[in-house]
Amino acid sequence: MALSVLKPGLATTVQDTGRPGYYNVGIPPSGSLDQYSSLAANLLVGNAEDAAVLECTYMGPELRFDRPATVAVTGADLPPRLGGEPRPVWESFAVEMGDVLSFDFLRSGARAYIAVSGGFDVPVMLGSRSTYALGALGGVGGRALAAGDELPIGDADGAAPGRSVPAALRSTHPKHREIRVMMGLYDHRLTDGGRRAFLDAEWRLTTLADRTGFRYRGAALEFRERVAPFGAGSDPSNIVDAPYPIGSIQIPGGVEPIVLHRDAVSGGGYVMVGTVISADMDDVGQSAPNITTRFVEVDLDGALRARRERADRLEALREAVR
């Protein structure tokens, strides 16, 4: 054992690059909601890219190290303290045996990532260490951390502290976001006005925002009249249960769209009107309650262009930190 949890934070889980390949039986990919920041944390401490990190939602944990290590905190602006002394974010630093890592209040963003040299060495389940709490799978006992947990840390190759991500490559977390979406799926079920309202509205993230989905409030959307298909359910927003893409935007009852994230429910009976493009999923993951969002429509080519730009940024990050 190499790390003891003194205080768990609000919803701190072990995550990595995820668990692809089981969505057909309802097991979602899981993994860090902000993969960019999670990768940065691993690079800073000299870990493999798929090493497991801690994802801290809104609030940091309090952790005691039972052995020396190199640590980095990225993602949300959640200022770390070591033995009460401030430590930087997006920069690796050394911890000694017995040191306690704690955090100030969140300044911006939603999820901070803590990487420790060697990675969190919890058992690999279906190819990943990621926690999928709905299915009690992965991480520490398939759940968020609790006080008293002990986390094993893998062997490190001796990464030096003092690595830093250049300012231009650090994520920022504005109070207003534009999230790009490809419309489609069941958007034909919206009236023209409903579709316009979806793209025009300023949506505000509610407190119902977790690893499964992000629920927004801001406008009521109108659906076209129809005769309910057999098996669909009577509400105009019901469909015969269908698969849900990661990032898809469903609108139960025509109010409060929900963007599904990496712990998505894999299917269900609500109309989806579009999907957040892969390049912008990190930004959704860094959205905290009360921030405002506009959904901006792009086509497939626009989405693929954004994906290439993100890949270039990941490559620049690797170059800068190695």
Partner 1 sequence: MDIRSPLPGVFYRRPSPESDPFVEPGSPVGPDTVVALVEVMKQFFEVQAGTSGTIATVAVADADMVDAGQILFTVHQS
Partner 2 sequence: MSGPGRPARRSFGGDDHIFVEFDEEMNLPANFRVMAVTATLAERRIDGVIDICPANVSYQVRFDPDRVAPRDLVAELEATEATVGDGTDFDLRTTILELPILYGDPWTRETGERFRSHRQDPDATDLEYAARVNGFDSVAGFVAAHSNSPWFASMVGFVAGLPFLFQMVPRERQLEVPKYLSPRTDTPKLTIGHGGCFGSIYSVRGAGGYQMLGITPAPIYDPTQTHPDFADSLVFFEPGFIVKYEPIDRETYDELTAQVEARRYRIRQAPVEFSLGRFLADPDGYNRGLTEVLRGS
Count residues binding partner 1 (CB under 8 A): 16
Q: Do the bridges between strand 62-65 and strand 3-7 make them parallel or antiparallel, or are there none, so unpaired?
A: antiparallel
Question: Is residue 246 close enough to count as binding partner 2 by CB under 8 A?
Answer: yes
How far apart are CB 187 and partner 2 at their closest, in Å? 8
Question: Is residue 311 close enough to count as binding partner 2 by CB under 8 A?
Answer: yes
How far apart are CB 109 and partner 2 at their closest, in Å? 22
User: Of the candidates 127, 115, 62, which has an alpha carbon nearest to the alpha carbon of residue 90?
Assistant: 115
How far apart are CB 104 and partner 2 at their closest, in Å? 33
Question: Is residue 57 close enough to count as binding partner 1 by CB under 8 A?
Answer: yes
Task: Select from partner 2, partner 1, none the partner in contact with residue 259, using the beta carbon and a kind-dependent cut-off of 5 to 8 Å.
Answer: none
Ordered DSSP codes for 52-113: -EEEEESS--EEEESS-EEEEEEEEE--EEETTEE--SSB-EEE-TT-EEEE----EEEEEE
Count residues binding partner 2 (CB under 8 A): 51
Question: Is residue 207 close enough to count as binding partner 1 by CB under 8 A?
Answer: yes
How far apart are CB 260 and partner 2 at their closest, in Å? 10
State both tokens at 7: 């205080």
Question: Is residue 23 close enough to count as binding partner 2 by CB under 8 A?
Answer: yes
Q: How far apart are CA 136 and CA 143, in angstroms?
A: 6
Closer to partner 2 by CB, 28 or 119: give it: 28
Q: First CA to last CA across the chain, in angstroms?
A: 28
Question: Is residue 266 close enough to count as binding partner 2 by CB under 8 A?
Answer: yes
State both tokens at 153: 């840390």
Task: Select from partner 2, partner 1, none the partner in contact with residue 182, using the beta carbon and a kind-dependent cut-off of 5 to 8 Å.
Answer: partner 2
Amino acid at 7: K
Question: Is residue 107 close enough to count as binding partner 1 by CB under 8 A?
Answer: yes
Q: At residue 298, what are phi and psi to the nearest 5 degrees?
A: -130, 160
Q: List Cβ neighbours of 81 (8 Å cut-off, separation of 6 or more).
A: 87, 101, 102, 103, 104
Helices marked H in the chain: 35-44, 192-200, 281-285, 300-321
Angle at 129 between CA 125 and CA 131, to 5 degrees: 95
**What residues between 282 and 321 interact with partner 1 by CB under 8 A?**
288-290
Question: Is residue 137 close enough to count as binding partner 2 by CB under 8 A?
Answer: yes
**Interface with partner 1 (CB under 8 A), residue from 14, 63, 106, 260:** 106
Q: How far apart are CA 113 and CA 119, in angstroms?
A: 12
Span of 153-161, 170-178, 202-210, 230-238 interacting with partner 2 by CB under 8 A: 230-238
Q: How far apart are CA 93 and CA 79, in angstroms?
A: 13
Question: Is residue 267 close enough to count as binding partner 2 by CB under 8 A?
Answer: yes
Q: At residue 193, what are phi and psi to the nearest 5 degrees?
A: -65, -40
Span of 50-58, 84-92, 97-105, 272-280 interacting with partner 2 by CB under 8 A: 272-280
Span of 40-48, 53-61, 146-154, 242-250 interacting with partner 2 by CB under 8 A: 242-250
Residues that bind partner 2 (CB under 8 A): 20-27, 125-126, 132, 134-137, 142, 181-182, 184-185, 229-234, 239-243, 245-248, 265-269, 272, 275-279, 300, 303-304, 307, 311
- Residues in the site for partner 1, rule: CB under 8 A? 10-11, 57-59, 105-107, 110, 207-210, 288-290
